[in-house]
């Protein structure tokens, strides 16, 4: 009985050991690519860290988001434009052009978008 179990275990382990090296390498490469992609995309989706409240552009960013929530899209566009102009190295600077374009789009005038 013990011999049968050992033979069965060997029969299962043998095909895994005989997998071509290229297959194993391709799985490893795919996994590495997935991890790399996840790290790149995750950084784009993370909101500014809590310590960004000390950022000089924080009050403008919050006022801009509040203006969007109230439907005051022209004011929001102006506030987000001010972030890009005054604080280009701020934590909020990468998001400001998106929110400015969004506010201009929602304002309804296509001429402002160009």
1-59 pLDDT per residue, tens = 555 555 555 555 555 555 555 656 655 666 667 666 666 655 556 666 655 567 778 88
Q: 105-114: long-range contacts (C-beta < 8 A, 24 or more apart)?
A: 106/68, 106/73, 107/73, 107/74, 107/77, 112/77
pTM attached to this predicted model? 0.52
Q: Mean pLDDT over residues 73-89, rounded?
A: 92
The domain locations on the chain are 2-45, 50-113
Q: Mean pLDDT over residues 85-91, rounded?
A: 88
**C-alpha pair distances (Å), 69 with each of 9, 14, 73:** 63, 62, 9
């Amino acid at each position: 009985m013990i011999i049968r179990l050992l033979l069965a275990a060997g029969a299962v382990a043998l095909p895994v050991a005989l997998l071509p090296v290229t297959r194993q390498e391709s799985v490893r490469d795919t996994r590495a690519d997935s991890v790399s992609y996840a790290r790149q995309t995750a950084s784009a989706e993370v909101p500014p860290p809590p310590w960004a409240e000390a950022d000089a552009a924080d009050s403008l960013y919050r006022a801009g988001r509040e203006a969007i929530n109230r439907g005051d899209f022209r004011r929001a566009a102006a506030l987000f434009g001010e972030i890009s102009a005054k604080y280009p190295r701020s934590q909020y600077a990468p998001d400001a052009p998106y929110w400015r374009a969004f506010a201009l789009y929602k304002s309804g005038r296509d001429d402002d978008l160009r």
